[in-house]
Chains A and B, each alone.
Chain A
Amino acid sequence: MLSYFLKRLLMIVPTLFCVTLTVFVVMRLVPGDPVLLVMGDVKNPELIAQMREQLGLNQAIHLQYIDWIKKLLQLDFGTSIVTGEPVLQAMIQRFGVTAQVVVISVIFAALIAILAGTIAAWQHNKMPDRWIVVFAVFCMSIPSFWLGIALILIFGVQLQWLPTVGYISPLQNLTEGIQFLILPIATLVLTEMGGILRMVRSTTIDILQLDYITHARAKGLGEMTVLFRHALKNSFIPTLTLIGLIMGSLLGGAAVIETVFTLPGLGRLLVTSINGRDYMMVQGIMILVSTTYVMINLLIDMLYPLFDPRVKL
């Protein structure tokens, strides 16, 4: 068990190396001088030279990379070119907002999807299954930003039950903070549920045909026990992988939902940084998000043996 964890932990080192290299390559080697991007219309050669020196752009490219990695290892992400704020501090602040929305949404989405997907598989090719499948495809086809706008329109503008846009930290004011989070979370739950649901359904359909399920039924176990204790145990691992992937990608890709509800999250910071040509910030966010993504996948991999003792590396 311990050696599985250690091996898996070691495997992320090359991955993280590749991630940093990719970010480095994207940010430096693609056409477009970062200094000119930052400086915009400023044509003063002295200022440009100074900026080059400051960003370390006069060194050889591999030295720049090594320098940059050394700084990253000390958690030095540099300072924002636009606001002058330390990148790490800005990112951590926004990351909390994104994380609470994403984690809560994915947990709810997974619970509902596992329940509905198992029922659909149980009722395979019957009426409940058909409706659940239609619902899942529909969830997958609605773009989250449109669903968000529609929910704002219904619950915010027409019924006036919930605030439309904005954000108050639940730590400051619990009831009001939660009110601001209901709509974004509902939107994400609905849009992310479809994929998980289909995964649960198709794996459970396969599993329900296996001999051990027939055996469990023949023993006289109730259908609920068969479905949720015996079948779910084996359908849960592929589902867990998907949940991990979704959670990881949402932590970076919640930009859209954050823009709809004007939540001060990491995704929105990324979009404003891109629009403001804040090269240091974009670089920092790309590193943070991809590292988180790799870490979440690692965590999910480490959870496998807990759910399935047969898993070995």
Chain B
Amino acid sequence: MKLAFSQMITSLKGNALAGYSILFIVITTSLLGNLFSPYDAVETDFLNRFSSPSLSHWFGTDEYGRDVFTRIAEGTFTSLRVSTAAVTFAIVLGALVGAITGYFGGWLDRIAMVIIDSIMAFPGLLLVLGIMAVLGPNEMGIIISLGIAYTPSITRIVRGTVLSLREKEFVEASRLLGNSEWVTLFSHILPNCITPVVVISTSIFTAAVLSETALSFLGLGVPPPAPSWGGMLADSRNYLGLNPWMGIFPGLAITFTLLAINLIGDALRDKWDPRLRTLQEETP
């Protein structure tokens, strides 16, 4: 066990190790902050407004005297919860649609592709904002709209992989053994899509974290007073002259988390993307 762990550590390259370490630090600090902080994330304390970082308030306090450290710690879980839910939504829906359309083809495939293409014709946050205009600014709204916006990339990857595998011998063998189409699809073809899906999911996850903070920055995220990184940054804008710390720390939290996920995503791509691997092997 110990050996396996140390092998895992040495097999990680510098960047990936840095990525995992940063993410580990962010999550543990937030967890400990949540469990052991003597302050409440939403309770106001007007005697201690705008304090600078000190021993009692590590990251200072905001305009209502709330402890910034505690709020950031709680915001970590809001961010990660929403992003994870959105990415899971996209993976489940995308994999299902991609697998079925890729395997069975026909008119179903054509209709699905038209829908996917039209979703992809909306740049950046536009579709998310559009859907949120209807669903309203709440956690469910963000998850669904981000999920819908990210579904196409998963669908295309899964569909492409399934298409390329459909005529392979092992699929034929599964059919000859008497397995139904669905068993063949879900237990023999779909497992081959895991690698590309994992690789694309990390980049979607980065985008989801960034979008979630951007949405809460725009006032369309989890409703206040619940803490969110983006919301805290938005609030800090009005008090930059008074207490710059209010904006610096939430921003650092976002930057480090994104940095960590980017590094991990790069490492996964280097390891698993077959196109990149052949290139690296050819390189002396």
User: Any chain B CB within 8 A of the CB of A226?
Assistant: no
User: Any chain B CB within 8 A of the CB of A259?
Assistant: yes
B134 touches A32 (CB 8 A): yes
Residues of A7-55 whose CB lies within 8 A of B: 15, 18-19, 21-23, 26-27, 30-32, 37
Residues of A214-249 whose CB lies within 8 A of B: 245, 248-249
User: Any chain B CB within 8 A of the CB of A253?
Assistant: yes
Chain A residues whose C-beta falls within 8 Å of the C-beta of B244 in the assembled complex: 153, 157
Q: Tell me the minimal C-beta distance from B225 to chain A in angstroms.
A: 18
B220 touches A271 (CB 8 A): yes
Q: Tell me the minimal C-beta distance from B13 to chain A in angstroms.
A: 13
Q: Tell me the minimal C-beta distance from A80 to chain B in angstroms.
A: 14
**Which residue in chain A gives the minimum CB-CB distance to B248?**
A150
User: Any chain A CB within 8 A of the CB of B218?
Assistant: yes
A256 touches B217 (CB 8 A): yes
Most buried by A among B123, B213, B214: B123
Chain B residues whose C-beta falls within 8 Å of the C-beta of A138 in the assembled complex: 259
Give bound CA distance, A274 to B114, whole Å.
27
Give bound CA distance, A282 to B126, whole Å.
10
Pick the contact of B210: A143, A248, A290 (CB < 8 A): A143
B125 touches A252 (CB 8 A): yes
User: Any chain B CB within 8 A of the CB of A145?
Assistant: yes
A293 with B262: in contact, given A252-B126, A274-B220 (CB under 8 Å)? no
User: Any chain A CB within 8 A of the CB of B9?
Assistant: no
A137 touches B255 (CB 8 A): no
Chain B residues whose C-beta falls within 8 Å of the C-beta of A141 in the assembled complex: 255-256, 258-259, 262
Q: Tell me the minimal C-beta distance from B88 to chain A in angstroms.
A: 21
B117 touches A289 (CB 8 A): no
Pick the contact of B121: A30, A140, A255, A290 (CB < 8 A): A290
A26 with B126: in contact, given A18-B114, A18-B118, A149-B251 (CB under 8 Å)? no
Pick the contact of A18: B121, B214, B251 (CB < 8 A): B121
B262 touches A140 (CB 8 A): yes
User: Any chain B CB within 8 A of the CB of A279?
Assistant: yes
B130 touches A282 (CB 8 A): yes
> How many residues on the A side are at the interface (Cβ–Cβ under 8 A)?
52
User: Any chain A CB within 8 A of the CB of B183?
Assistant: no
A256 with B214: in contact, given A146-B233, A206-B279, A293-B123 (CB under 8 Å)? yes
A146 touches B251 (CB 8 A): yes
Give bound CA distance, A44 to B127, whole Å.
32
Chain A residues whose C-beta falls within 8 Å of the C-beta of B130 in the assembled complex: 23, 26-27, 282, 286
Most buried by A among B126, B131, B136: B126
Chain A 260-281 interface mask (CB, 8 Å, partner B; 1/0): 1000000000110111010100
Q: Tell me the minimal C-beta distance from A187 to chain B in angstroms.
A: 13
Pick the contact of B126: A27, A32, A142, A253 (CB < 8 A): A253
**Which residue in chain A gives the minimum CB-CB distance to B122?**
A290
B213 touches A143 (CB 8 A): yes
Chain B residues whose C-beta falls within 8 Å of the C-beta of A255 in the assembled complex: 125, 129, 218
Q: Tell me the minimal C-beta distance from A221 to chain B in angstroms.
A: 23
Chain A residues whose C-beta falls within 8 Å of the C-beta of B85 in the assembled complex: none
Give bound CA distance, A294 to B121, whole Å.
7
Give bound CA distance, A255 to B215, whole Å.
10
Residues of A120-167 whose CB lies within 8 A of B: 137-138, 140-143, 145-146, 149-150, 152-153, 157, 164
Chain A residues whose C-beta falls within 8 Å of the C-beta of B122 in the assembled complex: 19, 22, 252, 286, 289-290, 293
- Looking at the complex, which of B48-56, B60-68, B235-243 is the stretch in contact with chain A? B235-243
Give bound CA distance, A277 to B125, whole Å.
18
User: Any chain A CB within 8 A of the CB of B105?
Assistant: no
User: Any chain B CB within 8 A of the CB of A251?
Assistant: yes
Residues of B221-253 whose CB lies within 8 A of A: 230, 233-234, 236-237, 240-241, 244, 247-248, 250-251
User: Any chain A CB within 8 A of the CB of B283?
Assistant: yes
Q: Tell me the minimal C-beta distance from B216 to chain A in angstroms.
A: 10
Give bound CA distance, A251 to B233, whole Å.
23
Give bound CA distance, A149 to B217, whole Å.
12
B117 touches A18 (CB 8 A): yes
Pick the contact of B237: A140, A149, A251, A274 (CB < 8 A): A149
Chain B residues whose C-beta falls within 8 Å of the C-beta of A253 in the assembled complex: 123-126
**Which residue in chain B gives the minimum CB-CB distance to A258?**
B218
B interface, CB within 8 angstroms of A: 114-115, 117-119, 121-127, 129-136, 210, 213-214, 217-220, 230, 233-234, 236-237, 240-241, 244, 247-248, 250-251, 254-256, 258-259, 262-263, 266, 279, 282-283
A-B residue pairs, 10 tightest by C-beta: A253-B124, A18-B118, A146-B251, A249-B123, A249-B124, A141-B259, A141-B258, A252-B126, A293-B123, A274-B133
Q: List 12 A-B contacts (CB under 8 A).
A: A18-B118, A137-B263, A140-B262, A141-B262, A142-B255, A149-B233, A209-B283, A250-B124, A277-B133, A282-B130, A286-B126, A290-B126
